[in-house]
Amino acid sequence: MSVAISSRYSGLTPYVPGEQPRDVSRLIKLNTNESPFPPPEAVQKAAYTASQSLNLYNDTEARALSERFASHVGVSPGEVLATNGSDEILYFAYLAFGDDASPMAYPDISYGFYPVYADICRVPGRAIPLREDFTLDYRDYMGIDANVVIANPNAPTGIALPVEDIERIVRSNPNRLVLIDEAYVDFGGVSCVPLIKKYDNLLVTRTFSKSYSLAGARLGFGIACEELMGKLRAVKNSINPYNVNAMTQAAGLAALESKEYYQEMVAEVSAIRDETASRLRALGYRVLPSSTNFLFFGQGPVNGAALMGELRERGVLVRYFGGERTKDFVRMSMGTRKQMDEVVSHIREICEGRRG
């Protein structure tokens, strides 16, 4: 006999993260949109200092960090909630606001966790197709009978949606949650955080995993009006009041105080992205316009699964999504300049091999 999984969860299809190999020293890892740069020393030291008090429980409300983050995004501390990665705030939002009468609607090509959370929270999910060119038509979400979840800029496409379009969606759904996932906004998107002052149905999420080089620390935030936040806080305190550990709180606070380091890093990554996009286009690839730290490209000499496989053999990891509309593309995070020089050379050789 074995213990059967609850019938509620017997049909789960879990999220499949990008491969995290044990030994990355000989690989160029461009498959999960991490930063190729470590956090600054001040952040490392802050985490270490906090580690000396790990005998004590951490601050359940992450007050110092939350106050600093609130001022960073121009809202008040009651309008933010710190979470264990931004995945956790997504999960809380599904739990708090989803049910049979309030399904979750999201683009058909977007972050893989959106349908997975619908599943585990037993909330109906609805995938709304992006246009042929992978852009989002805001009219598909106007006055919709569902909560809305949109990543802006979107992943894996990298394409950003104008804030005016978001405002139209938010305004036309006053009794529905509109969640805007701004995981990549620092790399070139425009934030809709200011709109939370005007609309009580808007929840914006942020992560420290990409533009703050803290993927392994697990830190994210929700930003919304106090009333909405109160509901999310109640869910959080019913699951895990201590959700952001002491080292991560200290690291996050130090990160917010290392503004210059991150401005330079984000500028560097964005420049590398634009150069890499031109080089891929020169090789004959279609590269979607990216406002993120990754490129989504394909429909060139060698594509999709074949390109991913050949790069893998050369020690380069990229992400492949085998969907009907995404099978001729791969998603590639930006590495350092030196890494990208190497990767573009590999891709050139792979393309020439195919032609020759």
Ligand X SMILES: *Cc1c(COP(=O)(O)O)cnc(C)c1O
Task: Determine, following the binding rule CB under 6 A, whether residue 86 of this chain makes contact with ligand X.
Answer: yes
Surface-to-core class of residue 128, CB atoms within 10 Å of its CB (0-12 exposed, 13-18 middle, 19+ buried): middle
- Does residue 189 interact with ligand X by CB under 6 A? no
Question: Judged by CB under 6 A, which stretch of 81-89, 256-264, 313-321, 334-342 contacts ligand X?
Answer: 81-89
Taking CA atoms, 311 is separated from 13, 292, 301, in Å, by: 28, 22, 14
Region class of 109: left (phi > 0), else alpha (psi between -120 and 50), else beta: beta
**One-letter amino acid for residue 273 of the chain:** R
Q: Please report whether residue 155 would count as binding ligand X according to CB under 6 A.
A: yes
Among 207, 211, 258, 290, binds ligand X (CB under 6 A): 207
Q: For residues 22-41, which are near ligand X according to CB under 6 A? A: 33
Q: Report the residue number, 214 or 311, with the smaller CB distance to ligand X.
A: 214
Site string for ligand X, 210-229 (x = CB under 6 A): -----x----x---------
Residue number, 283 or 293, with CB nearest to ligand X: 293
CB of 346 to ligand X, least distance (A): 24
Q: Does 165 bind ligand X (CB under 6 A)?
A: no
When the beta carbons of 207 and 258 are compared against ligand X, the nearer one is 207
Q: Using CB under 6 A, which residues numbered 110 to 149 contact ligand X?
A: 111
**Shortest reach from residue 25's CB to ligand X, in Å:** 23
Number of residues forming the site for ligand X (CB under 6 A): 13
**Which CB atom, from 179 or from 283, has the smaller least distance to ligand X?**
179
Taking the complex as a whole, the smallest distance from the CB of residue 215 to ligand X amounts, in Å, to 6
Burial 202-236 (b: 16+ CB within 10 A, else e): bbbbbbbbbbbbbbebbbbbbbbbeebbebbbebb
Helix (H) or strand (E) holding 223: strand 220-223
Smallest distance from the beta carbon of 115 to ligand X, in angstroms? 13
Cα 274 to chain centroid, rounded = 20
CA distance 301 to 294: 20
The verdict on 350 binding ligand X (CB under 6 A) reads: no
Lookup: tokens for 177: 């949650």
Which residue's Cβ has the minimum distance to ligand X? 85
Using the rule CB under 6 A, which residue among 61, 79, 165, 181 binds ligand X? 181
Among 183, 202, 223, 265, binds ligand X (CB under 6 A): 183
Segment interacting with ligand X (CB under 6 A) among 10-18, 80-88, 272-280, 343-351: 80-88
Of the candidates 291, 253, 205, 194, the one whose C-alpha atom is nearest the C-alpha of residue 39 is 253
Secondary structure in 3-state letters for 5-33: CCHHHCCCCCCCCCCCCCCCCCCEECCCC
Phi and psi (nearest 5°) for 101? -85, -15
Interaxial angle between packed helices 226-239 and 85-97, expressed in degrees from 0 to 180 and rounded to the nearest 10:
100
User: Closest separation between CB of residue 313 and ligand X, Å?
Assistant: 26
The answer for 284, left when phi > 0, alpha when psi is -120 to 50, beta otherwise, is: left
Closer CB to ligand X, residue 154 or residue 303? 154
**Near ligand X by CB under 6 A: residue from 31, 66, 152, 209:** 209
CB atoms within 10 A of CB 78: 14
Contact between 85 and ligand X per CB under 6 A: yes
Rg (CA), the chain: 21
Work out which of 61, 79, 87, 186 binds ligand X, going by CB under 6 A.
87
SS3 label, residue 105: strand
Residues that bind ligand X (CB under 6 A): 33, 85-87, 111, 151, 155, 181, 183, 207, 209, 215, 220
